[in-house]
């Protein structure tokens, strides 16, 4: 069987990412589906959940990946359009043996890519390099698989809302940045008490309002203005594929990842005294000191969502976070990074205090 040489620049440490029709093509997406599917088969798997984000190129890439998976003899479970954490959620609840998300994350519109899970574990590093080698050699599993549609949007939103336990209504501004979290954000807010002001909730792969990256201050200016003009308690923002969160307080001041972690860790440590709380090396010493002061066990770890998830599983830490806004809850949740779920837990924190953020 003929192999396909993937552009080496797209095979990154934690995911696959490239420029459409330049470094990443439809044929490449098919080869990625075949190679990943082969590794799933080798691992004894039979089912793979497939999701995609709101980029203009994503539906075609999704179809090519599904074709690649089914050619390996696998069943592809197509969960549809949504944020990356919805794909992680689907793998957990179906349950499926693997998952692949077509997403360009927070990158400009001309980019796209893939994030993968094998079993419940992240797929990264050596796994991604081996995927490239399998594609180049064309050494694929063979079979006749099938595909089916299994929309999980409603179940995902219901699961997010289930952990809300705020004791007072809040006024909150939300900015999806036209990213793939928009529909879930809208439907989640409809389930929550209080007043919710939605910005850029329409999924649009051209990102007309601003770049979808909540760690870039310029990308938060619209949210800051809404919080100030509407006298909100605080504001929330999400990246292009919804696995990262950004926030501003009631005065519009940016709250960075380590500041959010202090607030969230305080709630976790009330329920699980002495728990390990993980943060990446970019976090401030203040975070580690505060975790220790609150009775937790602070643990500094390497940056990278796959590395953090693996360390959480190893240490059984209930909470981890990165300065980039990846927040991982294993406390009451599944241990992956989910911006909307982190938002619910932050809402709980503020709604159970007598005063608002800032």
167-194 confidence digits (pLDDT tens): 999 999 999 999 999 999 999 999 999 9
Which stretches of 18-125 are DSSP H helices?
Answer: 26-42, 58-70, 84-93
Judge whether 183 and 151 are in contact, CB under 8 Å: no
Pairing of strands 47-52, 98-102: parallel
- Residue 237 phi/psi, 5° resolution? -140, 155
- Regarding whether 134 and 239 lie in a shared domain, the answer is no
Same domain, 41 and 109: yes
Q: Is 229 assigned a catalytic role?
A: no
The yes-or-no verdict on residue 40 having pLDDT over 90 is yes
Look at residue 358 and tell me whether its pLDDT is greater than 80: no
What are the pLDDT digits (tens) for 261-295?
Answer: 999 999 999 999 999 999 999 999 999 999 999 99
C-alpha 79/C-alpha 242 separation (Å) is 16
137 lies in the same domain as 159: no
The pLDDT mean for the chain works out to: 97
Residues 193 and 334 in one domain: yes
Task: Provide the pLDDT confidence category of residue 356 given band limits of 50, 70 and 90.
Answer: confident
Is residue 248 one of the residues assigned to a domain?
yes
Domain range for 124 is: 8-151
Q: What pLDDT, on a 0 to 100 scale, did the predictor assign at position 305? A: 87
Is residue 240 pLDDT above 80, yes or no? yes
The length of the chain in residues reads: 358
- The residue from 57, 58, 103, 105 that is catalytic is 105
Calculate Rg over the CA atoms of the chain.
Answer: 20
Share above pLDDT 90 across residues of the chain, in percent, rounded to a whole number: 96
Q: Phi and psi for 232 in degrees, rounded to 5?
A: -75, 160
In this structure, the answer to whether residues 322 and 186 fall within a common structural domain is yes
Q: Is residue 1 part of a domain?
A: no
For the segment 230-259, the average pLDDT, to the nearest whole number, is: 97
CA angle 125, 302, 19 (to 5 degrees): 45
Provide the token pair at 316: 């059984």
Structural domain count of the chain: 2
CA max distance for the chain: 66
Convert the pLDDT of each residue in 185-219 to its tens digit: 999 999 999 999 999 999 999 999 999 999 999 99
Q: Are 196 and 227 in contact (CB under 8 A)?
A: no
Alpha-carbon dihedral sign for residues 105, 311, 307, 324: positive
C-alpha distances out from residue 68 to 60, 95, 132, 161, Å:
13, 21, 14, 35
Judge if 259 and 319 occupy the same domain: yes
Six-digit token pair at 306? Answer: 């796959």
Q: Is there a domain that residue 357 lies in?
A: no
Both 295 and 242 in one domain: the answer is yes
- pLDDT tens, 107-132? 999 999 999 999 999 899 999 999 99
Q: Kindly state the DSSP code that residue 256 receives in the 8-state scheme.
A: P
Please check the confidence at residue 1 and state whether its pLDDT lies above 70: no
pLDDT at residue 351 is higher than 70: yes
**173, 112: one domain:** no
- 309 backbone dihedrals φ, ψ, rounded to 5°: -60, -40
């Amino acid at each position: 069987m003929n192999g396909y040489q993937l552009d080496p620049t797209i095979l990154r440490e934690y995911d696959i990412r490239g420029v459409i029709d330049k470094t990443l093509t439809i044929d490449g997406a098919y080869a990625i589906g075949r190679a990943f599917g082969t590794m799933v088969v080798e691992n004894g798997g039979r089912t793979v959940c497939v999701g995609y984000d709101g980029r203009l190129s994503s539906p075609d890439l999704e179809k090519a990946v599904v074709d690649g998976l089914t050619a390996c003899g696998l069943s592809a479970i197509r969960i549809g359009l949504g944020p990356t954490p919805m794909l992680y959620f689907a793998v957990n609840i179906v349950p499926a043996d693997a998952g692949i998300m077509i997403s360009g994350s927070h990158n400009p519109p001309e980019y796209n890519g893939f994030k993968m899970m094998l079993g419940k574990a992240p797929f990264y590093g050596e796994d991604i390099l081996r995927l490239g080698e399998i594609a180049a050699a064309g050494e694929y599993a063979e079979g006749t698989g099938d595909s089916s549609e299994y929309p999980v949007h409603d179940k995902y939103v219901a699961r997010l809302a289930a952990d809300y336990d705020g004791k007072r209504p809040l006024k909150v501004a939300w900015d999806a940045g036209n990213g793939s979290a928009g529909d879930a954000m809208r439907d989640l807010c409809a389930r929550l008490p209080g007043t919710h002001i939605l910005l850029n909730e329409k999924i649009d792969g051209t990102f007309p309002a601003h770049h979808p990256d909540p760690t870039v201050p310029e990308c938060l200016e619209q949210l800051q203005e809404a919080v100030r003009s509407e006298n909100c308690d605080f504001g929330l923002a999400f990246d292009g594929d919804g696995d990262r969160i950004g926030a501003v307080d009631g005065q519009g001041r940016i709250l960075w990842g380590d500041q959010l972690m202090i607030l969230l860790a305080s709630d976790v440590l009330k329920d699980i005294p002495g728990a390990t709380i993980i943060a990446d090396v970019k976090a401030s010493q203040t975070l580690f000191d505060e975790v220790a002061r609150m009775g937790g066990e602070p643990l500094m770890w390497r940056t990278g969502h796959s590395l953090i998830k693996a360390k959480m599983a190893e240490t059984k830490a209930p909470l981890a976070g990165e300065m980039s806004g990846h927040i991982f809850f294993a406390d009451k949740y599944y241990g992956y990074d989910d911006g909307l779920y982190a938002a619910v837990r932050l809402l709980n924190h503020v709604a159970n205090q007598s005063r608002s953020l800032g």
